[in-house]
Each structure stands twice: as C-alpha cells, then as structure tokens.
C-alpha cells in the first residue's frame, strides 16, 4: 500500500457513508482502507485516497456561523479512461446517474458521474486516445 504522505487526499462530504463505500468500490475500482460507518470511511485507488465523511463525522460539524458542510458542488475527482463510451455504457447499465451527456472539445471528451450523495466524478478520454 502506498504510504499516506505519498497519496493525494480528497475529502467528500456524503449523506450515507456505506452507500458511498459501495459506489466507489463496486463501480470505480477503489479499495476500502478504513471504515467507521456511519461517520467516516476512506477508500483508495492507486495514489488517491478519498475520505468519505458523513454527517456524524467531525468534518460534518457546523461552522461557527452555523453553516453545515454538505455534499455536492462542482469540484471533482477526474479519471482518465481509455474508452469513454464503453465506460459510460457499463455504469449506466449498473443504474448510475450522470449530470450530463458526453461532451467533446479540443482536449477530449468528458462526462460527469454522480455518487450517491451528488458529488461529481469526471470521466475523461483525451483527444486521439
């Protein structure tokens, strides 16, 4: 296993930690590293450590102004894939939700997949790839 200091760590606020573990491990090739369901879990894929923090986690506590951290938004993890259309077909076949259809530009093609809490995962195929 890659040493923690060598990993990229990203925290996603999630509504349901177990549903998020299932999503990332079953559909995107992550491995469960640690779990304290229902509060927290972390999953890894190569050098990426994704911290899944539920409402019961310390990261889910309200800010001094009362605002509560929550899932969603437009920041995202970005994965390069070899065959975007095949990957989209596989994930749609598993009943997963996308925010858009495949978009193509000068750099390549992309689509935005939603995790169970509405966090975005971008799948990207470079142009010519």
Q: What is the pLDDT of residues 59-89, one digit of tens each?
A: 999 999 999 899 988 889 999 999 999 999 9
CATH of domain 4-126: 3.10.180.10
Decide if pLDDT at 3 tops 90: no
Q: How far apart are CA 76 and CA 111, in angstroms?
A: 12
Peptide bond before residue 21 is cis, with ω within 30 degrees of 0: no
- What are the domain boundaries of the chain? 4-126
Question: Considering the entire predicted model, what is its pTM?
Answer: 0.88
Q: Are 123 and 84 in contact (CB under 8 A)?
A: yes
Q: Are 12 and 115 in contact (CB under 8 A)?
A: yes
Q: Are 12 and 76 in contact (CB under 8 A)?
A: no
| Residue pLDDT, tens place only, 22-60 | 999 999 999 999 999 999 999 999 999 999 999 999 999
**pLDDT for position 1:** 58
**pLDDT for position 129:** 59
**pLDDT for position 121:** 96
């Amino acid at each position: 296993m890659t040493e923690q200091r060598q990993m990229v760590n990203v925290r996603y606020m999630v509504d349901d930690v177990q549903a998020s573990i299932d999503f990332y491990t079953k559909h995107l090739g992550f491995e469960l590293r640690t779990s304290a369901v229902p509060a927290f879990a972390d999953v890894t894929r190569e050098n990426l450590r994704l911290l899944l923090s539920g409402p019961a986690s310390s990261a889910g506590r309200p800010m001094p102004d009362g605002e509560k951290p929550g899932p969603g938004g437009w920041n995202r993890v970005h994965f390069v894939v070899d065959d975007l259309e095949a990957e989209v077909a596989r994930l749609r076949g598993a009943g997963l939700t996308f925010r858009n259809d495949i978009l193509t530009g000068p750099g390549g093609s992309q689509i935005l997949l939603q995790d169970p809490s509405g966090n975005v995962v971008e799948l990207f195929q470079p142009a010519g790839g």
